[in-house]
Structure formats: structure tokens, C-alpha cells
Amino acid sequence: MKKIAIALLITTATPALAQHAGHDMSGTQAADPHAGHNMDGAQAADPHAGHGMSGAQAADPHAGHDIGGTQAADPHAGHDMGGAQAADPHAGHDMSGTQAADPHAGHDMSGTQAADPHAGHDMGGAQAADPHAGHDMGGTQAADPHAGHNMGGTTANALPPVAPPPPGALSGPRHAADASFTPEAMAAARAQLAKEHGGGTAHMLMADRLEARIGDGTDAYLWDAQGWTGGDIDKLWVKTEGEGSFNGGFEEAEVQALWSHAVNPWFDLQTGIRTDFRRHGEDHTYAVFGIQGLAPYWFEIDAAAFLSDKGDLTARVEAEYDQRITQKLIVQPRIEFDLAAQDVPELGIGSGLSSIEAGVRLRYEFVREFAPYVGVEYERKIGDTADFARAEGEGVGGWRALIGLRAWF
């Protein structure tokens, strides 16, 4: 009777048509394919019915495994993955504190960046991807080609020490050719060499000023030319200058013949004679002592003192400077002044500073040897010389326009 009563009680508690009748399905739903299994707390139709899956979800392929705290469908169910994410290929490894999918999982990478090619190396204090990591480079600069070399006390242009020549190098003749040729042959060869390299004879003729001078009163013309022949040290100079008027003709001229000796690469001492020719008056001859050359800052200087056959001492100084505007266009300032130690009334010259000329010329060199020019010049007689001119009814100076030619051969 007791059994019959239990059966009736079970039949009353389950739905009709239960397929698992006879199974212990207390607390489960009807039509449970796992009836009779202990599925306390599980859902219906659980393929793992009867397995201990307390706390797990339904249809868990790992039912019966202890995967407390993990998500469903975890391929690593049963592994100890406390704190790891699902589908982690490194499940079961101790990866506390690392990121997911880290190729260096399990390595001690505390303090390094992810995906560091030097993971696991001791790089404390070094920068990432430093080609010199682990090298002791304290105090050196990056990429120094001389790193590790001892260069203390040297400079970039330091030269190695130079020893004097050995004594044997000075034991032979001064010129090696003297050991093979006779003294007569060497003397002839040296003379020929000196003649071909600086010992020859050269020539030059320059017309520095061939110009028309247009101003108040009579228009005039002027020439100033010089030439020389000789070597580097000694030359024969010939100089000439003169003037006249287009209406009245020739007035006066001078010619100088000078021996010139170079005292340095820049200046020549000159001495010789000068003869003056005048249309009105007596001709005069002078002894000449002068200097000509190139002063510092490229000023061309020609200065000379003249002692006449009557004992009159006069002097003249000329200076000019070529300032290039282009390779062919040149401005030439020029100044000239005359002095006398005494009055020379027959020549209209007073003592002291007797006259001055200052002007500027602009020339164009079609070629170096041929250069026409234009310019202006101011001329003035001074002191007693001006008084002599006024007494003769002549002017004492003024401005003139210049048109001329400079040429040399």
C-alpha cells in the first residue's frame, strides 16, 4: 500500500504523458530527456543532465567540469583561468597584469612596452629600439664616428710632426744638374732660362689722354703719352705731353727721356732729361728726378722734380685711380698740381703752389687697348701764377668738358 500511495503521489505531481516516468525528476519540467538524472538547478533539455553543473548555463559542452566563474563555450573550460578573458590562446598561463593576445605571455615584462623586440632583456634606462642598447655610452654623443677613440688634445686640422731632412740630403751639390754637366754648360743654360723667364725685353706705348677740351673761350686739345722698352728691372722711358688751340694751333710741348730702375715690384726710380718747346718764348731743358708706380689702394702715382738749365726748380705730381663699375665701364678720377721753388716770370710761374687740375673721366673699354671717354675737369692758376696770367690778359681757370680716347699698344 505504501508503494501504491507513492506512485499515485508522483503521478499527481508530474504532467501528463511524461516520457521519463519512473525517473527521479523532482523539481524538473515535463518531457525532460534527462529524467532520472540529478539536475538540481539545471534547465530542461540539458545534454549534460546528471553532471554536476551547479551554476552553469544550459547546453554547456563542458557540463560536469568545474568551470566556476567562466563563460559558456570556453574552449579552455576546466583550466584555471581566473582573471583571463574568453578565447585566450594562453589560457592556463600566468598572465596576471598583461594584455590579451600578448605574444610574450608568460615572460617577465613588467615595466616594458607591448611588442618590444627586446622583451626579456635588461634595458633599464635605455630607449626603445636603441641600436646601442646594453652598450656603455655614458658621456658620448650619438653616432659619433670617433666614439671610443682617444682624441684628447688634438684638433681637426692638427698636423703630424715634421722631422728635418737627414744630413745626407744636403751632402751633394746645390743643383743636381751640376753633378752631370760642366760649369760652362750650366752657366749657358741658366742665362737662357733667365732670358726666357723674366729676363727678356718688352715694349709698350700708351696714349693716356688724347682729348678735346671744350670750355669758355678758346676750345683746346691736349695729348699725354708715354712708352717704354726694357726688362723687368731697367727700362728706357719716353714721355711727352702738350696742348694747343683749334684756332691758334700749337702752344707748348715737352718731351722726357728717362732711365727707369725698379726698386721694388711697385715703384721705379727715374732720372733723365726734359726739353720744353714753346711757340712763343725760349725753349728750356731740365734734369729730371722722379718716381713712378702703383701706391697702396691702387693709386697710380707719377711725381718728378725738374731743375732747369738756369737753375729754376719746379715739381709736378699726378695721381689717378681706376674705379671699375663693370668689366668695361671705368671711372677715373685724376688730379695734378705744379709747384715752384721760386718765381719764373718769363714762364708766368709763381713760387709755391702754382696751378691745379682736378677732373673725372668715364671711359668704356671696347677692348683693353681701345677706350673712348668723356669727362669734366677744373683748372685753376693760383697765387703769383694767377697774377702773371691776369697781367697778360689771360684767364686764370674754369671748367672744361672733355671728349677723348685712351689707347695702348
For 166-182, the pLDDT digits (tens) are: 887 778 788 889 989 99
Query: What local confidence, expressed as pLDDT, does residue 309 receive?
Result: 93
Domains of the chain, earliest start first: 1-50 (no CATH), 205-408 (2.40.160.40)
260 in Cβ contact with 244 (< 8 Å): no
Q: Is 192 or 73 the better-scoring residue by pLDDT?
A: 192
What type of residue sits at position 390? R
- The most confident of the ranges 14-23, 29-38, 254-263 is 254-263
Q: Write the pLDDT tens digit of every residue in 351-361.
A: 999 999 999 99
Q: Is 156 or 47 the better-scoring residue by pLDDT?
A: 156
Confidence band of 31 (pLDDT split at 50, 70, 90)? very low
Pairing between strand 249-262 and 234-245? antiparallel
Whether residue 368 has pLDDT greater than 80? yes
What's the rounded mean pLDDT across residues 294-317? 96
What's the rounded mean pLDDT across residues 189-193? 90
Confidence band of 7 (pLDDT split at 50, 70, 90)? very low
Q: Is 53 or 285 the better-scoring residue by pLDDT?
A: 285
Of the candidates 358, 342, 348, 353, the one whose C-alpha atom is nearest the C-alpha of residue 398 is: 358
Whether residue 384 has pLDDT greater than 90? yes
Grid coordinates in use for 78? 576546466
Question: Percentage of residues in the chain with pLDDT exceeding 90?
Answer: 48
Tell me how far apart the alpha carbons of residues 299 and 208 are, in angstroms, rounded to a whole number: 15
Query: What local confidence, expressed as pLDDT, does residue 261 receive?
Result: 97
Arithmetic mean of pLDDT over the chain:
77
Confidence band of 11 (pLDDT split at 50, 70, 90)? very low
Indicate the range of 104-108, 203-207, 278-282, 333-337 predicted with least confidence. 104-108
Indicate the range of 54-58, 151-155, 233-237 predicted with least confidence. 54-58
Burial of 109 (0-12, 13-18, 19+ CB in 10 A): middle
Beta bridge partners of 324: 330
Q: Is 346 or 362 the better-scoring residue by pLDDT?
A: 362
What's the rounded mean pLDDT across residues 216-222? 86
Confidence band of 54 (pLDDT split at 50, 70, 90)? very low
Q: Is 79 or 253 the better-scoring residue by pLDDT?
A: 253
Q: Is 22 or 248 the better-scoring residue by pLDDT?
A: 248
Tell me how far apart the alpha carbons of residues 325 and 364 are, in angstroms, rounded to a whole number: 10
Tell me how far apart the alpha carbons of residues 184 and 182 are, in angstroms, rounded to a whole number: 5
Tell me how far apart the alpha carbons of residues 308 and 151 are, in angstroms, rounded to a whole number: 76
CA geometry: angle 220, 226, 227, nearest 5 deg: 150
Tell me how far apart the alpha carbons of residues 5 and 11 are, in angstroms, rounded to a whole number: 10
Grid coordinates in use for 268? 721705379
Query: What local confidence, expressed as pLDDT, does residue 298 receive?
Result: 95
Quick one: CA dihedral 183, 184, 190, 194, positive or negative?
Answer: positive
Confidence band of 161 (pLDDT split at 50, 70, 90)? confident
CA within 13 Å, CB half, 360:
5
Tell me how far apart the alpha carbons of residues 347 and 15 are, in angstroms, rounded to a whole number: 164
362 in Cβ contact with 375 (< 8 Å): yes
Whether residue 295 has pLDDT greater than 50? yes
Whether residue 399 has pLDDT greater than 80? yes
Residue 183: phi, psi to the nearest 5?
Answer: -60, -35
